[in-house]
Amino acid sequence: MSQDFINMMWRRTLFLKEMLKRGYSFIFTDIDVMWLRNPFPRLISFNESIDLQISTDSFNGDQLSEANPINTGFYMVRSNNRTISLFEKWYAQKNYSTKLKEQDVLNGMMKEGVFRELGLSVRFLDTRYFSGFCEVSRDFKAVTTVHANCCRTIGAKVIDLTAVVHNWKRFKSLSNSNSTLTLKWTNHVACNRSWKRKVN
């Protein structure tokens, strides 16, 4: 949450707005999102009516519910007048949102009814498939991405994502051997500890 970090997030939003204005639909993913499987089978095609499909920190069971807390670490957006308007309104909040990162601003806009006002069709992604450290998917056979969210430092993210890789390799080796052993993800110890350390 340093000012440099906040500025970088807003520059990213500006860049993505320009991509939409040039007619590009896209998937955006943070660098701390690990792709374990191809996400496209779990996403609705760009040709469908959904404007925005976005990950959540926790999923309430309803993929259309604005009560889901969004996470901008992974989303798929179609280029059209509605999404361009959303990104323009979003970026316009930059100077009125001191000490807030762009994700918090978008979450606030959703709660204020901006999605409905623009006529956006939004799908909130189930953490069973689009998992994260905030809410971990227990289904190794379904999980598609893992986001190192709810984590404070880069070092902690690297440690705990490395553990995810080891867990995933173990699952794949057991799958190939037809083992019925039940697997669990390693606890995100480094990320949990990152909240207890003082950050300058």
For the stretch 135-154, pLDDT in tens is 999 999 999 999 999 998 99
| 26-79 tens-digit pLDDT | 999 999 999 999 999 999 876 678 999 999 999 999 999 999 999 999 999 999
> For residue 80, is it left (φ>0), alpha (ψ between -120 and 50) or beta?
beta
Instruction: Tell me what pLDDT residue 26 has.
Output: 95
CA distances from 25 to 1, 64, 110, 181 (A): 29, 21, 21, 41
Above 50 in pLDDT, residue 200? no
pLDDT reading at 165 higher than 90: yes
20 by Cβ neighbours in 10 Å (0-12 / 13-18 / 19+) ranks as buried
CA nearest 183: which of 197, 168, 196?
Answer: 168
For 166-195, the pLDDT digits (tens) are: 999 999 888 776 665 678 899 999 999 998
- Location of structure tokens 């639909």: 25
Task: Provide the pLDDT for residue 21.
Answer: 97
Mean pLDDT of the chain: 90
Starting from the edge strand earliest in sequence, which strands make up the sheet with 33-35, in order?
33-35, 145-147, 130-132
Q: Across residues 114-124, what is the average pLDDT?
A: 96
pLDDT for res 9: 79
Higher-pLDDT residue of 99 and 137 is 137
Q: Is the pLDDT of residue 84 over 80?
A: yes
Q: What band does 115 get if pLDDT is binned at 50, 70 and 90?
A: very high
